[in-house]
Amino acid sequence: MMNLFHSFIYQPVYNVLVFFYNTVPGHDFGVAIILTTLLIKFLFIPLSQKQIESQKKMQELQPKIKELQKKYKDNKEEQTKAIMALYKENKANPLSGCLPLIVQLIVLIAIYRVIINISSAGFAVQLTDLYTFVSDPGPINHLFLRFVDLSKPNYVLALLSATAQYFQTKMLLQSNKGVASVSSDPDKPDFAEIMNKQMLYLGPGITFFVGVTFPAALALYWLVSTLFMIVQQKSLFRSKPE
């Protein structure tokens, strides 16, 4: 399994990043990270679209789900059957958004490892991971825009990444407001919603911690990725009914 991950996910990401570094004027590793991130995000737009459409359909069914929850609040088995029947009737699947998330998570792990491996190797490229048509750039210049050292933690990039993460999470929670789980009880606290609200602060906190712990190259990737997601979510949810 690890060999498949390395050959079909890690290595392509590795070579795309090195290719951009070789072709960008000035050989700016930070610009190469930005271009690689944008390319990956654009390739994942269809998957994100599918995930958003699934969320929107679940929101449209929410009033009927609430009615069924109230109607069968004393009979959990019947409540589950009724909600499942509603899903089937409307061709909705609450788990249909999971696959896009899993795929994106796998690629996220890959680009994370690429950046960390290059950084820990003293910003040198592993020749064994390069394709034959991608040339060895030699020692990589780790200064982004000539003054941001991507080899060391950067508090400014870490703070910007955490702030962007906060607003992206807040936007996602607002857009998902009202989506309930099958087993939720309308007369009891929604623990999933409570956990989501905790993630509003926990996620950015973790992002900031990672940003001030690992090389700034990773924080730069996370910042660009999160900003792209904010723009994408605004675009995909703009026609969503309130």
User: Within a 10 A sphere around the Cβ of 150, how many other Cβ atoms?
Assistant: 26
Could you tell me the pTM of the whole model? 0.79
User: CA–CA separation, 33 vs 16, rounded Å?
Assistant: 9
Q: Provide the b/e sequence for 96-133 (b: ≥16 CB within 10 Å).
A: bbeebeeebeebeebbbbbbeebbeeebebeeebbeee
Residue 183 has pLDDT above 50, yes or no: no
pLDDT tens, residue by residue, 10-31 = 999 999 999 999 999 889 999 9
The one-character DSSP state at 213 is T
In terms of C-beta density within 10 A (0-12 exposed, 13-18 middle, 19 or more buried), how is residue 238 classed?
A: exposed
How confident is the model over 119-138, as a mean pLDDT?
91
| CA distance from start to end of the chain | 44
Q: Are 29 and 141 in contact (CB under 8 A)?
A: yes
Q: How confident is the model at residue 9 (pLDDT cuts 50, 70, 90)?
A: very high
Bridge pairing between strands 148-149 and 143-144: antiparallel
Residue 86 has pLDDT above 70, yes or no: yes
Where in the chain does DSSP place strands (E)? 143-144, 148-149
- pLDDT value of residue 182: 45
Q: Which of 66-75, 118-127, 227-236 tops mean pLDDT?
A: 118-127
- pLDDT value of residue 177: 56
Q: Are 29 and 35 in contact (CB under 8 A)?
A: no
Q: Provide the b/e sequence for 151-177 (b: ≥16 CB within 10 Å).
A: bebbeebbbbbbebbbebbeebeebee
What value does the mean pLDDT of the chain take? 83
User: CA–CA separation, 37 vs 108, rounded Å?
Assistant: 10
Domain ranges of the chain: 2-237
Residue 142 has pLDDT above 60, yes or no: yes
User: CA–CA separation, 12 vs 129, rounded Å?
Assistant: 9
- pLDDT value of residue 181: 46
